[in-house]
Amino acid sequence: MKQCWRWFGPKDPIGLGALHEVGVEGIVTALHDLAPGAVWSSADIAKRQALLRANRFEWDVVESLIVSEAIKTQSSEMGTHLSAYKESLSNLAEAGITTVCYNFMPILDWTRTALRAPQPNGAKAMAFSLLDFAVFDRHILERKGAHEDYPAEVVEAAKERFQTLSFDQRAQLQTTIIAGLPGANEGWSLEDMRAQLATYKNITAENLRSNLIDFLSEVGPEAERLGIKLCCHPDDPPFPLLGLPRVMSSTEDYAQVLDTVDLPANGTTLCTGSLGVSTKFDAPDFVRRLGPKIHFVHLRNTKRTPSLDPERPDFFEAAHLEGDTDMVATIHALVGEEDRRKREGRSDCVIPMRPDHGQELLSDKGGHSLPGYPLIGRARGLAELRGIMAALAR
């Protein structure tokens, strides 16, 4: 696998030069300043590509070319946004960038309730608590009908916990959920959230899956023509939040969508951390079943902890080899998929991967790292993953 690294552009506190020192081979990035639904112009793409090349890197994977809410809900702006998406794909292909990651999560992107939870070894890690999310949902956002989405024990515990939080703690929880994570909607308010939720009032899981299939049926053939591989990132976490449906939370979800829009261009981003939160997920089985459609891999680990709802566990970002996902077995399956592609003569026999997320270690700590994206924590993860790959190669 090609060992890549997510970089958030010129505003990223980690300079590109440092990445050569830790053995990074390629870059995963996006034009984060452009709003969903906007065209990625050839000039903007070339500017980012030139910056990477000046630092001896190529732009290997786009993460993410965002699918707008208008496309997800099929609102009045959908046609304009679809045209912009296809134009952006064309401009990327012209620049030789052919792997594009996206997700189809409604409103919220990946979600955590703590950005820097202390760990027993002194590190800090992101975490998700269903109880804290219920506090936000019921008592800060005050979503109508929120109490119906939680067991009675969670409803009562959330009421008690909310009363113990200071004004600053409530504000921090709100910021963490709405805008605390890289790639999130930094300008959204509670009013914005409520307005967005209203657009999903009549959208069920079946509707959202159908809208995803419509999106892929529209852009997939264009991606195929351009030689671009589209790879959908799973829901994170892989269960419903805010009463909204989630449709890419399991191996079965992926199989259904990939079978329905059966194009080589239509594929998956395997994120072992996101899918691994579910007790039902088997990463090596995912590779065995859907391996030919894996275009990009996020190797990270999460560790489940008990919550008051067995279907929606709490979890934290574990060290790469210490969570619930068997990383050795997963990489073994991925290397086997690469070998199979070589035997078939496929041009994409080397799958791009990146060490996703990481705990804050040593000089990472202090609040200067982007949440989930520290230098040392990810470098440790990459070194561990590289060690597994080297051992398997022997």
Question: Known catalytic residues?
Answer: 233, 271, 298, 356-357, 373
Contacts of 92 (CB under 8 A, 6+ apart): 40, 45, 62, 65, 98, 100, 228
Cis upstream peptide for 151 (omega within 30°): no
DSSP state of 366: T
Q: What is 121-181 written as a DSSP string?
A: TS-EEEEE-HHHHHHIIIIIS--TTGGGGS-HHHHHHHHHHHHHS-HHHHHHHHHHHHHSS
Contacts of 126 (CB under 8 A, 6+ apart): 112, 114, 115, 116, 117, 316, 317, 357, 371, 372
Return left, alpha or beta for 205; rule: phi > 0 is left, psi -120 to 50 is alpha, else beta.
alpha
Rounded CA-CA distance 350/271 in Å is 17
DSSP string over 28-67: EE--TTSPTT----HHHHHHHHHHHHHTT--EEEEE--PP
Residues β-bridged to residue 6: 28
- Cβ-based burial of 187 (10 A; exposed 0-12, middle 13-18, buried ≥19): exposed
Element (H, E) at 17: helix 16-21
Crossing angle of helices 78-94 and 42-54, rounded to 10°: 40
d(CA 19, CA 28) in angstroms, rounded, equals 12
DSSP string, 237-303: SSS--TT-----SSHHHHHHHHHHS--TTEEEEEEHHHHTTSTT--HHHHHHHHGGGEEEEEE-EEE
User: Residue 316 in 3-state DSSP?
Assistant: strand
Give CA–CA dist 317/295, Å, rounded: 24
